[in-house]
Amino acid sequence: MKALAAAIRIRNVSHHFGEEGDPRRVIALRDATLDVARGELMCLIGPSGCGKSTLLSIAGGLVAPSAGTVEIGETRVRGPLPREVAYVFQENALFPWNTVAENVKLGMLFQGVPEAEREARAESALEAVGLAEFAQHFPDQLSGGMRQRAALARALSLQTGILLMDEPFGALDEQTRMILGEDLSVLLAEHRKSIIFVTHSLGEAVFLADRVAVFSARPGTIKKIIEVDEPHPRRPAFVTSAKFHALRDELYSLLHDEIRKTVSESALDRAGRAGGAAGAGG
């Protein structure tokens, strides 16, 4: 569906770490196929180690998949596409030796944007995320939430059609992430970007996403896609609606078994490793 309007086409992508026969070989991702429509926010949710972050890196060309293809627009992805794709990473991806404004401008500098335009675009991006007054601060002078706003401003300033967000609010406390989620929804309603958003949080997924792709436990694959039919910007009241709760419950029941599987597997894993190569490190 919506195949013509797809901004990102992920076809049969698999990925493993380590060679065949290596006992430490990990199959991170198995045969994932996904279309992200233009202007759509697609959330990826799943248990730890299900390969959702790996899929994000593959979609943006930061990691080459073991099998399968990704297309962005008409282009087959074979490496980073800085003009089409911008990232927001989990945390600490701002350069601590640069001020917030310098951080935002650096991406544009890499892409050869002229100085005056860099200045203007950085200013409006910082304005948009509510950090205009903190342009001259260094990242370590900001709270975790403000740092992620700055990282978002850096990504927005690059004016790409696609935004890939890897658990951007994962390290923040619940209340901060609620506010950031609301603000993000407002921003995105204005900018209409195509977004893949990786998260652990059920509520965050339902609140932000147009569709949520639910991953199975490792080796991860997409188990089901859930639609959240609610216009952007999402209002805070959406969180208390019956619809929100129904969707959240559906996600919960889909995920619950997968998370159990992951937890018991990793416990077995650890027991196996303790018996085997102690001190191998990893």
Where along the sequence are the contacts to other proteins (CB under 8 A)? 60, 62, 80, 82-83, 85-87, 89, 92-93, 95, 97-98, 106-107, 109-111, 158
Instruction: Pick the closer one to other proteins by CB: 63 or 226.
Output: 63
With residue 196 as reference, give the H or E element that holds it: strand 194-199
Instruction: Pick the closer one to other proteins by CB: 36 or 94.
Output: 94
CB of 93 to other proteins, least distance (A): 4
Instruction: Pick the closer one to other proteins by CB: 49 or 107.
Output: 107
CB of 231 to other proteins, least distance (A): 30
CB of 8 to other proteins, least distance (A): 15
Helix (H, G, I), strand (E, B) or coil at 70: strand
Instruction: Pick the closer one to other proteins by CB: 51 or 203.
Output: 51
CB of 20 to other proteins, least distance (A): 24
CB of 84 to other proteins, least distance (A): 10
Instruction: Pick the closer one to other proteins by CB: 191 or 223.
Output: 191
CB of 184 to other proteins, least distance (A): 19
Q: How far apart, in whole angstroms, are the C-alpha atoms of residue 6 and residue 39?
A: 9
Instruction: Pick the closer one to other proteins by CB: 20 or 97.
Output: 97
**Can the peptide bond before residue 236 be classed as cis, meaning omega within 30 degrees of 0?**
no
b/e code 15-29 from CB counts within 10 Å (16+ = b): bbeeeeeeeeeeebb
Quick count: other Cβ atoms within 10 Å of Cβ 258? 20
Task: For residue 58, give the amino acid letter.
Answer: I
| DSSP 8-state assignment for residue 85 | E
For tokens 């790996």, name the residue.
54
**Can the peptide bond before residue 139 be classed as cis, meaning omega within 30 degrees of 0?**
no
| Torsion over CA: 150, 57, 29, 215 (sign) | positive
Instruction: Pick the closer one to other proteins by CB: 51 or 60.
Output: 60
CB of 147 to other proteins, least distance (A): 13
Q: How far apart, in whole angstroms, are the C-alpha atoms of residue 214 and residue 209?
A: 12
| DSSP 8-state assignment for residue 139 | G
| Residue of 230, 271, 268, 233 lying closest to 247 (CA atoms) | 230
